[in-house]
Amino acid sequence: MLRFSFIFLCLFLTACGGSDGISSLSASGASYCGMPSGAQRIAGKVTSVHDGDTITVNGESIRLGSIDAPELAQAYGSQSRDHLSALVLGQQVTVTYAEKDQYDRVLGTVFTPDCSNVNLSQVASGAAWYYEAYKCEIDIQLRMAYATAQTTAKASSRGLWAAPAMAPWVFRNGVDAKVPASCPNGDGPSG
């Protein structure tokens, strides 16, 4: 129980801008709620939740970055969507981002007014995977938070981890995603 409490204290400090001596700014130097983030912002009400990692804000499709939720046709897909809906549907949020994906969706991090990182909440609750294949695109502070959240959820058999789970990228493509051993910015593996 003490280990579990310590991990969540670390996640809380990360969400609140607490420092572990690692740079708290993203490559762009932008931050939001004390966390590294994309420099662009969208603020508004969440009008729909498509699945466990895609929402609509101000008519803009938002794909939650750094995570991948089960497809709706997969085991735990609808529960993942329902969890995200409970967190944000009808609520005001701020989305920070730096780019759009190949489907013209904003690829961002969603924050609630109290500065909770919704993407990280999905992973911590066992409603989504940390998408390590793209870990070099985020700050090491966030990499560590996502990796810790997933490890804790898995060890506690939370959400999708309560039963054997197939990663959505394997479900979609039939192959596992290639995870970089280290990142070009010298941060090394996330663990």
Write out the DSSP string of 81-143: HHHHHHHHBTSEEEEEEEEE-TTS-EEEEEE-TT--BHHHHHHHTTSSEE-GGGGGGS-HHHH
Separation CA 77–CA 50 (nearest Å): 11
3, 81, 99, 105: which one is catalytic?
A: 105
pLDDT of 178 above 80: yes
Q: What is the mean pLDDT of the chain?
A: 84
Predicted TM-score (pTM) of this structure:
0.81
pLDDT of 15 above 70: no
- Is 81 marked active-site? no
Residue 175's alpha-carbon distances to 166, 167, 168, 170, in angstroms, are: 11, 10, 10, 5
pLDDT of 159 above 90: yes
Of 97-101, 152-156, 178-182, minimum mean pLDDT range: 178-182
Residue 6's alpha-carbon distances to 2, 14, 38, 169, in angstroms, are: 6, 12, 28, 31
- Is 105 marked active-site? yes
pLDDT of 23 above 70: no
71, 81, 132, 143: which one is catalytic?
A: 71
- Band of residue 56 on the pLDDT scale cut at 50, 70, 90: very high
- Is 3 marked active-site? no
Instruction: Tell how strand 106-111 and strand 60-64 pair up.
Output: parallel
**What pLDDT is stored for residue 174 in this prediction?**
81
Predicted confidence (pLDDT) per residue in 88-138, tens digit: 999 999 999 999 999 999 999 999 999 999 999 999 999 999 999 888 888
